[in-house]
Amino acid sequence: MTVPAWLLDIFAAIMLAVAAVSALRLAAARPWQRGGPGADADIDLAHLLMGIAMAGMLTASLTTLPDGAWEAVFAVTTAWFAWRVARDVRGRGASALAGGHHAPHLVHSAAMLYMFGAVAAPMGTVAEPAMAGMGGAAGGMSTLRFPTIALVFALLLAGYAVWDLDQVASRIQRTGERRSTRSGLRLSDAGVPALAGPGNPVGGLAAATGTGMLPGGHAAAPGDSAAVPDDSGARPGQAGVAGIRDRVLAPDVATGCRIAMGVTMAFMLVLMI
């Protein structure tokens, strides 16, 4: 009685994709540089670790570290995000416990810690390495102790996934509204009307970021000469690279990773109840 291997492989592939995107975000954010946009590097790092760990849990051939090592890793991330949530609560009150920026990551980390810590011997197998592929090469299925906690985590993860999806859609909708507001005619420095749209590297990039800001924090206001790449001495193509970097660092990308991980984690928890 097992889940088809191809289904587990699909979820594992999604987790590897999440890990790859998170690694890309870490590289793009350059958190090791002072003043770089690395404020959420801890989140990307946690996503990277969770993606690799979950891929290994889903497919035995993708196992990287022993369970004990992963348990230690997620004990650290859980403690870290607990501290971050505590800081959020001090700053924003108790509402940060449910809707704060770091609360979902605390839940994700704690769920990972629980999965590695509470896993019992696979059913129908002997000495199957815990979590080394949930389907189990011998057809066994890992189960979890204290299954009520697994259900609570699954409910929380499902809740956060739909909430995140709603918020992403809401942000995209607002971005679209702002973009259409800015898509009117504007005057360049030379007094030539220019369209702020995808065809214009300045307006298009600003619109793509959805914030009205350009890389480096310059506001893409009409007539803002500092916002024009040629004025700042940038080589052709640099704006495009910066645009890609900004897209990789977009918060919605991290949220998308979180949604994928939340659904996959809920799937794994339910399978191991």
Classify 219 as helix, strand or coil.
strand
The one among 1, 94, 185, 192 contacting another protein by CB under 8 A: 1
Q: Footprint of another protein on residues 5-44 (CB under 8 A)?
A: 7, 35-37, 39-40
Minimum distance, C-beta of residue 171 to another protein, in the bound complex (Å): 7
State the helix-helix crossing angle for 41-58 and 5-29, rounded to 10 degrees: 160
The one among 151, 194, 195, 234 contacting another protein by CB under 8 A: 151
Q: Is 191 in the site for another protein (CB under 8 A)?
A: no
213 phi-psi bin (left φ>0, alpha ψ -120 to 50, beta other): beta
- Rounded Cα gap, residues 102 and 75, in angstroms: 16
Nearer to another protein, 101 or 186 (CB): 101
Minimum distance, C-beta of residue 191 to another protein, in the bound complex (Å): 27
The encoded tokens of residue 23 equal: 């690694």
Residues contacting residue 22 through CB under 8 Å, at least 6 positions apart? 44, 45, 47, 48, 51, 254, 257
The b/e string for 57-83 (b: 16+ C-beta within 10 A; e otherwise) is bbbbebbeeebeebbebbbebbebbee
Q: Is 154 in the site for another protein (CB under 8 A)?
A: yes
Nearer to another protein, 65 or 250 (CB): 250
Q: Is 91 in the site for another protein (CB under 8 A)?
A: yes
Q: Is 246 in the site for another protein (CB under 8 A)?
A: yes
Q: Is 92 in the site for another protein (CB under 8 A)?
A: yes
Residues in the chain: 273
Q: Is 213 in the site for another protein (CB under 8 A)?
A: yes
The encoded tokens of residue 250 equal: 């977009």
Q: Is 211 in the site for another protein (CB under 8 A)?
A: yes
Q: Is 223 in the site for another protein (CB under 8 A)?
A: no
Classify 98 as helix, strand or coil.
helix
The contact set with another protein (CB under 8 A) reads: 1-4, 7, 35-37, 39-40, 88, 91-92, 99-101, 141, 146-148, 151, 154-155, 158-159, 161-163, 165-167, 169-171, 173-174, 209, 211, 213-217, 246, 249-251, 263, 266-267, 270-271, 273
